Amino acid sequence: MNYIVFDLEWNQSPYGKAREIERLPFEIIEIGAVKLNAEREIVDTFQVIIRPSAYKRLNYRTREIVHLDQKDLDNGEWFPDAVRRFLAWAGGDSIFCTWGTVDLPELQRNMNYYNLLYLLKGPMHYYDVQKLFAVQFEDMKSRRSLEYGADYLHLEKAREFHRALADAMYTAEIFQQIDMDVILAYDSIDVYQNPRTKTEEIHLIYNGYSKFISREFKTKEEAMQDPEVLATPCCLCGRTARKRIRWFSVNARNYYCVAECPEHGLEKGKIRMRRNDEEGIYVVKTVKVSSEAEMESIREKRKDLREKRRRRRHA
């Protein structure tokens, strides 16, 4: 088994939102990757510049950030050839690692645009090194820039940031300094290819919280009638936790509740409604250890929302 730490650079419409391709808002123009073995030793690297076909000119923001010029892109490789080479180099027994949660969905979105998504089976477990850095060195919740992480660990900054291979190398060097027990305890899951059936639904247990990713539903209302979506099993022992505050919506996408486990006390539930690229709706639900103070804060939030809705009805 190998770890594939990769980074992408991408372009967007140089003509603004009005001429953006809805299925491909960001077109990949470079892939850089570092291969680490099971002991997290660097054994190989990969880099390819990609010739754009959707947005053939560089957006001015891309040109400011990415150290590539038009000649580099014009001499690049066609994306379908490049991504096939990348996946063959990575190997089928590897696990991806990225800085943040964005690169893996964008890789799949670009593959989907070229009808190549069948080459990657999802949902996919991966390691978000940005999150692992926060767990290891900070407060678990912060999300720092890659350069911040490199400075924090006093890495030699011999390469320019915002080139795919350079950023992948910095990410790999940070990944090497994360304790293995943190890595194993805090894996991530990418749901660009979300579960489609009941049997594909995902249940995960982490340190202090649980995550559930549902199958697709036609509407939010249908999702909120599903017993599995509404359930609040204790994130520590799995026993059914009794609702203290039932699920309520704070906006069109987010719902909250508070439940109580007889053994482990209060827990907060959060539901986020997500849409995939095909407009299907699925649910990401987390249940976390909570407190009396947090319960009262959520109770006040519900009270304020009810009052605002009452005023709107009578306006």
- Residue range 178-200: average pLDDT? 93
- Residue range 35-54: average pLDDT? 96
- Residue range 307-312: average pLDDT? 86
Tokens 């690169």 belong to residue: 103
**How far apart, in whole angstroms, are the C-alpha atoms of residue 123 and residue 284?**
13
How confident is residue 66, by pLDDT bands cut at 50, 70 and 90? Answer: confident
Please, what is the Cα angle at 285 between 174 and 272, to 5 degrees?
A: 90
Q: Where in the chain is the domain with CATH 3.30.310?
A: 195-313
How confident is residue 310, by pLDDT bands cut at 50, 70 and 90? Answer: confident
3-class DSSP state of 249: strand
pLDDT at 59 over 80: yes
Torsion of CA 8, 14, 15, 20, to 10 degrees: -20
pLDDT at 60 over 80: no
pLDDT at 279 over 90: no
Q: What is the pLDDT of residue 155?
A: 95
282, with CB counted inside 10 A (0-12, 13-18, 19+), is buried
How confident is residue 40, by pLDDT bands cut at 50, 70 and 90? Answer: very high
Q: Write the CATH number of the domain with boundaries 195-313.
A: 3.30.310
Q: What is the mean pLDDT of the chain?
A: 93
- Residue range 205-212: average pLDDT? 89
Considering only CA atoms, which of 144, 166, 162, 35 is closest in space to residue 100? 144
How confident is residue 208, by pLDDT bands cut at 50, 70 and 90? Answer: confident
Strands 281-289 vs 265-275: parallel, antiparallel or unpaired: antiparallel
Fold of 2-185: Nucleotidyltransferase; domain 5 (3.30.420)
Q: What is the pLDDT of residue 15?
A: 83
- Residue range 61-74: average pLDDT? 84
For the stretch 228-261, pLDDT in tens is 999 999 999 999 999 999 999 998 899 999 999 9
For the stretch 138-152, pLDDT in tens is 988 899 999 999 999
Residues 6+ apart with CB under 8 A from 295: 244, 245, 258, 266, 268
> Taking a C-beta distance cutoff of 8 angstroms, is the pair 210, 235 a contact?
yes
In the chain, % of residues over pLDDT 90: 78
- Residue range 283-307: average pLDDT? 94
How confident is residue 53, by pLDDT bands cut at 50, 70 and 90? Answer: very high
Residues 6+ apart with CB under 8 A from 305: 248, 250
pLDDT at 17 over 90: no
- Residue range 172-189: average pLDDT? 95
Q: Where in the chain is the domain with CATH 3.30.420.10?
A: 2-185
Q: What is the pLDDT of residue 237?
A: 92
Q: Residue 7: phi, psi to the nearest 5?
A: -140, 150
Count the Cβ atoms, other than its own, within 10 Å of residue 98: 27
pLDDT at 315 over 80: no
**How far apart, in whole angstroms, are the C-alpha atoms of residue 209 and residue 232?**
11
How confident is residue 298, by pLDDT bands cut at 50, 70 and 90? Answer: very high
pLDDT at 314 over 90: no
With residues binned 3-state (H G I as helix, E B as strand, rest as coil), the percentages for the chain, rounded to 5, are 35, 30, 35
